[in-house]
Structure formats: C-alpha cells, structure tokens
Amino acid sequence: MKRHTIIWVLIIGFLAACAPAATPIPETPTAPTSGFLSTGYTDAANLRSQLALGILRMDGTPNAVTPEQAHIMIPLWQDLRNTQMDDSVLLQQIEAALTVDQLTAIAGMKITQTDMQAWANDNGITMEIRQTGSGKGLSPEAKATRHAQQTATAGEMNTTLVDSIIKHLQSISQ
C-alpha cells in the first residue's frame, strides 16, 4: 500500500514539474490599447465616459454609429453596466466595433469631467463639485458621509450614462 502511494506521489510530482508555468494576472487594470483615446489631458473623463458620450455626440453626423455597429455594441454596454470587475476588455471590444474615423472623432472631442458634469445636469443628475482638501476639521462621520455622497452621485451618473447609450444603440439597431 505504501509503495503505491509513493509511486503516485512521484508521478504527480513529475507531472506538476512538467506543467507550463501559470500566466500571471496583472494587478492593475489595463486600459484599452487602440491608442486613440487618452486620459492624459487636463480634466480628462475616464475612457468609458469618453466612449459613451462620444457615441452619443456623434449621432446625426457622418461618423454616427451604424445599425450593424449598434447591434454589436448593445450586449457589450449591457455587460459593462452589470460588471463590478475590470472593464478594460469590454472597452477594447467596444473600441474594436468603431471605425478609425469614429475613434478619431471621439478623441478629437477631448471629453472632460466638466463635459460629463454638463451632460449629467442636462439629464437631471445633480453633480456636486468635489471639494478639495483633506476634510480637516470634519468628524470621521462627516468625512464618510461626504465620500458616500460623492460615490453615489458618480455611480448614478455612470449608470445613467450607460443606460442612455444602451437605449440610444437600441434605437439605432431597429
């Protein structure tokens, strides 16, 4: 009995030693790699917001999303709305559904946080300007309340923006 156990341990150890090394999972999320969109300018919106607001702004222009593109992007945006995880793969797939001219047009818009705040206000979302400073003088409870309000407002805007892009794309794809 002991002899069989030793043989199995040796076989399993040998197989484990011959197995290929696991690919490490990156610790930081990667950004879409099209090279068109950037967050490297002053007050830049995040890539998700740039894509969504850019697509909405292209409506009625020669660069507007086609029904075929809308059909491809609807499930991607729906997945983005429902994910709690790194969204870089979905953003890459959305970028891949757009043409070079469309991506160039969105990049040329240089969508900022200020643009996002204007969009939010136009859509009935009240955005408070982030207060600068560390919150010196605020109690821990007041700091937590301020953080929760800012997080909830940003989350509401993000959800509303993604819902708007899904609705827009659904209207195009019909």
Confidence of residue 2 (pLDDT cuts 50, 70, 90): low
Q: HEC string of 11-25?
A: HHHHHHHHCCCCCCC
**Crossing angle of helices 47-58 and 140-173, rounded to 10°:** 40
Provide the residue ranges of all domains of the chain, joining segments of one domain with +: 42-126+137-173
The two tokens of residue 119 are 């969009």
Residue 18 has phi, psi (to 5 degrees) of -85, -15
Helix residue ranges per DSSP H, 42-135 = 47-58, 67-82, 88-97, 100-109, 113-122
> Angle 36-42-43 (CA atoms, 0-180°, nearest 5)?
95
Place of tokens 């030693």: 17
Residue-wise pLDDT tens digits, 15-39: 556 555 544 433 333 444 567 899 9
Contact 149, 128 (CB under 8 A): yes
Residue 95 CB contacts under 8 Å (≥ 6 apart), including other chains:
32, 34, 36, 37, 51, 103
The two tokens of residue 49 are 């917001």
Query: How far is Cα 92 from Cα 80, in angstroms, rounded to an integer?
Result: 11
Residue-wise pLDDT tens digits, 93-144: 999 999 999 999 999 999 999 999 898 888 887 654 444 444 566 676 755 5
Query: How far is Cα 69 from Cα 102, in angstroms, rounded to an integer?
Result: 11
Residue-wise pLDDT tens digits, 53-98: 999 999 999 999 999 999 999 999 999 888 877 788 999 999 999 9
Question: What pTM was computed for the model?
Answer: 0.66
The reported pLDDT for the residue numbered 159 is 83
Query: How far is Cα 144 from Cα 42, in angstroms, rounded to an integer?
Result: 28
The reported pLDDT for the residue numbered 24 is 41
